[in-house]
Amino acid sequence: MSNLVQLKVNQAIEILKEKRIDLWLTFVRETSAGGDPVIPLIYGHDLTWQSALMITRKGETYAILGHFEAGTARNTGAYQTIVPYHDAISRSLLHTLERIYPRQIALNYSRNDVHADGLSHGLYQLLIDYFDDTPWEQRIVSAESIIGALRGRKLPEEIALIRAAIKTTEEIYERTFATIEEGMTEREISQFMQAQLAEFGVEAAWELEHCPIVGAGPASPVGHVGPTDTPIKRGQIVHFDFGVRQEGYCSDIQRVVYFLDGHEESPPEEVQKGFNTVIRAIEEAVKAMKPGVTGVEVDRVARGVITSAGYPEYKYATGHHLGRSAHDGAGILGPLWERYGETPNYALEAGNVFTVEPGLMVPGYGYIGVEEDVLVTESGTEFLSTPQTELILR
C-alpha cells in the first residue's frame, strides 16, 4: 500500500493548493489505541509516540516522530523530510513550523465529519501548550474540507480496489442464493456467508456480529443487528446487508429474496410493488447524481419516490461514501436532520463512490432494502455493483 500512500499524499498537496491552505498538520499518538482515521490514507502504519505528519501546499512533506519509527516513515516514500526525536517532539515541531511559517495550520477536527475529527481533545490541548508564545494558535483552521476531499475523491487505484471488493461480495451472494432454503435460520445463513469470508481471504466490512445482516420475514428487526434463530418461511421476504473489506477497501450491498409460497408462481402484488418502488427510487437517485449536486438534493429525489408511492419515509440517509470504511466520511446523501450536521449540503464530486439504499417495509412479508455502489463521474454516474432489478425468487 506504500505506493497508494504516496499517491494520496500527492493528492493532498493538490487539495491544499485548491483550498489555499498553507499547511495540514496531523498530530497523533498511540494510533493502535484510537488512531486518526486519516492515518491509513497518508501514512499506512501505526504511530506510537507523539507524531506530526505535515504536508504543505508548496509540496513539502515532513514526518516528525519517534526515532524507532523513522525507518518506517522513510519506507512510505511519501515524506521528504524525516525528523526523528528522542525525548520531546515540541522542539522539532516548533522549529519546522518556523521554517514553513504557514498562514494557516489545518488540524483534524470537525463538527460534521467523524472521519475528519481524529485529533483528540487532549492532543489539541497539548498542541496549544506547545504553541504558547508563538503565532500558531491564531492560525489554526479545520482540516475538514481537506480530509473530505481526500477521502471522497477516489483515485483510479482506489476505485479498482473497491471494484475488486464488490466482485468478491457478489460472488459470495451468488453462492448464498444457491444454498439458502426454507427452514434455514438467519444465523445459519450468516455463518455460511462468514465462512465464505475466510475462503476468499477477506474481512467483514463492518462488525462481524452483524455482517451480514440477515432479516427473515416481517418479525425480524431492521437495522444494524445480528442474525437470530428465526427460520426462513415461504411467503416471506429475506433481506441481506453485506460487504467485505479486501486489500483495505470495502463494499456494501443489500439484496432481497422472496420465498414463493406453495401455490404462488410469482410474488404477491404488494411485495412486487414494494420492490419496484425501491428500484425506481434507486434509479431516480442515480440519475440525479452528478458533480455539483448536493447530497440533500439526491436524498430528496429518492425519498420522494418512496413517500409518493404511499410508504412512510425511511429513517436514515439514502446513501453514504464508500471506501476504506463502509461509511467513509465526508458528505452523505441525506436529509437536513440535526444528526447529520452539514454533511447533506456537501456537493458531489467526480471520483466519489456512494451507496444508494432506500428501503421500505411490506407489512406481513418483511423489509425490502436494496443497496447499490455507485461511482460519480465527470458526466454522471456508473454502477460499480451489478444492480438488482428483479426479485430473487426461491
DSSP letter for each residue of 339-351: GGTTGGGSBP-TT
Q: What is the pLDDT of residues 64-112, one digit of tens each?
A: 999 999 999 999 999 999 999 999 999 999 999 999 999 999 999 999 9
pLDDT score of 219 = 87
Phi, psi dihedrals of residue 341, rounded to the nearest 5°:
55, -135
Looking at residue 151, its pLDDT comes to 96
pLDDT in tens, 36-68: 999 999 999 999 999 999 999 999 999 999 999
Residue 123: partners with Cβ closer than 8 Å, 6 or more residues away = 27, 28, 29, 50
Strand partners, 259: 236
- In this prediction, residue 247 carries a pLDDT of 96
- Stretch (H or E) spanning 24: strand 23-28
pLDDT in the model for residue 329: 80
- pLDDT number for residue 366: 96
- Separation CA 192–CA 175 (nearest Å): 9
Q: Which amino acid is at 162?
A: I
pLDDT < 50: residue spans in the chain: none
Q: Can you give the pLDDT at residue 2?
A: 66
CA atoms within 13 A on the CB side of 257: 22
The pLDDT, as a whole number, for residue 358 is: 97
What is the DSSP secondary-structure string of 93-162?
HHHHHHHH--S-EEES--SS-GGG--S-HHHHHHHHHHTTTSSGGGGEEE-HHHHHHHHHS--HHHHHHH
90-100 and 121-130 helices, crossing angle to 10°: 70
**Number of other residues whose CB lies within 10 A of the CB of residue 63:** 26
Main-chain phi, psi angles of 139, to 5 degrees:
-105, 5
pTM: 0.95
Query: What domains appear along the chain, each with residue ranges and CATH number?
Result: 2-151 (3.40.350.10), 153-393 (3.90.230.10)
Q: Which helix (H) or strand (E) holds 295?
A: helix 295-308
Q: How far is CA 185 from CA 72, 209, 216, 228, in A?
A: 47, 15, 8, 7
pLDDT at 83: 97
d(CA 189, CA 180): 7
